[in-house]
Amino acid sequence: MYSDQIQTQLQIQAQLVHSESQRREHAKRMHGALTELALRHENELYANTRGISQANRALGWRPGYLNRATGEIELSRFGDGRPAPIHVLDGLPESWVQSRDAEGHVIAAEPEIVSGFIRAGRFFTREQAARAAAH
């Protein structure tokens, strides 16, 4: 009985730590640069929803980005300008790029850049796309 109570308490603490960790990560991301790691993390968070490219592509959603500072939206593109079927940083406008690696690949976008989806010329965050595509 005592060990069951301890086990339950440990599980509750683990859940609280995980929730707090996610909250901190989200807060940090809101103030930090968009990176490939951040994109992977977003894909994990929305893995079982229509908030990822693979789950909503057939419904006409295209991966894209919003510049919160200017309101501009851009489709995700490869470095050579071709439309990308997933979120790729290399095709971002130069003014949206914070840093590049030695080979010239984008490793961080400016903090005001947000990933999401574009449909009918309108930008949707991943959360908005997941909700809208579910209906």
Measure the CA–CA gap between 6 and 2, rounded to whole angstroms.
6
**Average per-residue pLDDT for the chain:** 83
Sketch the domain layout of the chain as residue ranges. 1-31, 33-133
Measure the CA–CA gap between 1 and 87, rounded to whole angstroms.
50
More confident residue, 28 or 83: 83
Would you tell me the crossing angle of helices 36-45 and 2-31 to the nearest 10 degrees? 130
The residue type of 83 is P
Q: Are 73 and 64 in contact (CB under 8 A)?
A: yes
Give the Cβ contact number of residue 28 at 10 Å. 10
Interval 10-29: pLDDT, tens:
566 655 545 554 554 454 44
Taking alpha carbons only, the member of 79, 77, 76, 83 closest to residue 101 is 79
- Helix or strand (DSSP H, E) at 30: helix 2-31
pTM for this one?
Answer: 0.74
Measure the CA–CA gap between 72 and 57, rounded to whole angstroms.
22
| DSSP state at residue 47 | T
Q: Is 104 left (phi over 0), alpha (psi -120 to 50) or beta?
A: left
Query: What percent of the chain is predicted at pLDDT more than 90?
Result: 53
SS3 121: coil
